[in-house]
């Protein structure tokens, strides 16, 4: 690892607001991501966890400038990503594996064309023979064979389709992959195979992951550190085992209480914490702490200001005024 930079990928004060039509001529701001900051070291996996609609997928897409961020900065190896040229170079080094292997692959393209498309865009081969060889190697890397190259995506199972998506992401030899809920659309038996493959690829190729998911068991298995998101904000961040064994934020505690543990004695002694009320709409955010409307610890002062992340244990941060 080079000493020139501390972090491979750094996100500072990222905001992603969308204007939603409201009434005949008006519009309202939907704050999908609101002031999110984190950094990932080379070779590390940061898990980004939260309920559906909390903004985690939007974080991944905004980092890659698939959505132009409202404000905030993204740094890759200490260089600010801005302008078409730096975004194109950045996308060669940072790729994305999408959530739904059914809709993210073009049904009119053969597997060879899907996997070869990034090679074509970035001109990464000298002739057709080299292109074919690279596609064959990529398919082999993700557990498929060269026989699969001439077939179409609809002829494959969900797990195989996700492997094709991963081969496409690996085509440009990236350093970092943003994995956007890559196993949530798959059967549980297939999920384990795909997760194991991500880990093997990381060991073999030195990859760095931002792993977005809502399943805490999956995230704990693959992540070095975990960031917990709620309504566009990161409310807790720290080492995976620390967050799993000693969650500090009331939201993280309730999320973890719902994770099934294959131990009847543990299950008897630990009750699930069911949150009151519904998740507020991002169009009408509560003042102060976004979690206060559902929080068992909430007091009047929680409505006054947005709590900032503070260190509650070594390298373990949480955003709650009661800690």
> Residue 52 contacts by C-beta under 8 Å, 6 or more apart in sequence?
214
Q: List, in order, residues 6 or more apart from 15 with CB less than 8 Å away.
A: 31, 33, 34, 35, 36, 69, 70, 71, 72
Tokens linked to 8: 């491979």
Query: Contact at 8 Å (CB) between 14 and 68?
Result: no
Say how far apart CA 235 and CA 224 lie, in whole Å: 18
Q: How many CB atoms lie within 10 A of CB 305?
A: 11
Residue 141's closest CA among 188, 89, 82, 200? 200
Burial of 248 (0-12, 13-18, 19+ CB in 10 A): buried
- What is the pLDDT, as a whole number, of residue 4? 78
Largest CA distance in the chain: 68
Three-state DSSP at 9 gives strand
Residuewise pLDDT in 10s, the chain (323 residues): 445 788 999 999 999 999 988 877 888 889 999 999 999 999 999 999 988 888 999 999 999 999 999 999 999 999 999 889 999 999 989 999 988 877 888 888 999 999 999 998 888 888 999 999 999 999 999 999 989 999 998 898 888 999 999 999 999 999 999 999 988 888 888 888 999 999 999 999 999 999 999 888 888 889 999 999 999 999 999 999 999 999 999 999 988 877 666 666 655 666 667 677 677 888 888 899 999 888 888 899 999 989 999 999 999 999 999 98
* CA distances for 286 relative to 30, 235, 292, 305, 316, angstroms: 13, 15, 8, 10, 26
Q: Is 143 left (phi over 0), alpha (psi -120 to 50) or beta?
A: left
Nearest residue to 176 (alpha-carbon basis) of 21, 4, 309, 8: 8
pLDDT at residue 1, as a whole number? 42
User: For tokens 């389709």, what's the residue?
Assistant: 161
pLDDT at residue number 33: 93
Looking at residue 266, its pLDDT comes to: 56
Which pLDDT does position 255 carry in this prediction? 86
């Amino acid at each position: 690892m080079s000493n020139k930079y501390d972090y491979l990928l750094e996100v500072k004060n990222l905001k992603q607001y969308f204007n939603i039509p409201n009434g005949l001529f008006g519009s309202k701001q939907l704050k999908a991501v609101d002031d999110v900051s984190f950094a990932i070291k080379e070779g590390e996996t940061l898990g980004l966890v939260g309920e559906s609609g909390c903004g985690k997928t939007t974080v991944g897409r905004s980092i890659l400038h698939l959505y132009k961020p409202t404000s905030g900065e993204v740094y890759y190896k200490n260089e600010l990503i801005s302008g078409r040229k730096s975004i194109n170079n950045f996308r060669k080094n940072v790729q994305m594996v999408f959530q739904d292997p059914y809709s993210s692959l073009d049904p009119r393209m053969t597997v060879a064309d899907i996997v070869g498309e990034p090679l074509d865009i970035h001109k990464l081969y000298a002739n057709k023979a080299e292109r074919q060889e690279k596609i064959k190697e990529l398919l082999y890397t993700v557990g498929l064979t060269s026989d699969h190259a001439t077939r179409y995506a609809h002829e494959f199972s969900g797990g195989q389709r996700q492997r094709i998506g991963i081969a496409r992401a690996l085509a440009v030899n990236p350093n970092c992959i943003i994995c956007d809920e890559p196993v949530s659309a798959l059967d549980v038996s297939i999920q384990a195979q795909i997760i194991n493959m991500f880990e093997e690829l990381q060991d073999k190729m030195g990859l760095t992951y931002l792993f977005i998911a809502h399943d805490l068991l999956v995230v704990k298995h693959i992540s070095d550190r975990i960031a917990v998101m709620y309504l566009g904000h990161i409310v807790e961040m720290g080492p995976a085992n620390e967050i799993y064994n000693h969650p500090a934020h009331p939201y993280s505690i309730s999320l973890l209480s719902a994770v099934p543990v294959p131990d009847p004695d543990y299950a008897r002694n630990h009750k699930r914490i069911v949150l009151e009320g519904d998740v507020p709409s991002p169009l009408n955010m509560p003042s102060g702490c976004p979690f206060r409307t559902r929080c068992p610890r909430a007091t009047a002062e929680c409505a006054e200001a947005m709590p900032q992340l503070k260190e509650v244990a070594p390298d373990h941060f949480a955003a709650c005024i009661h800690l």
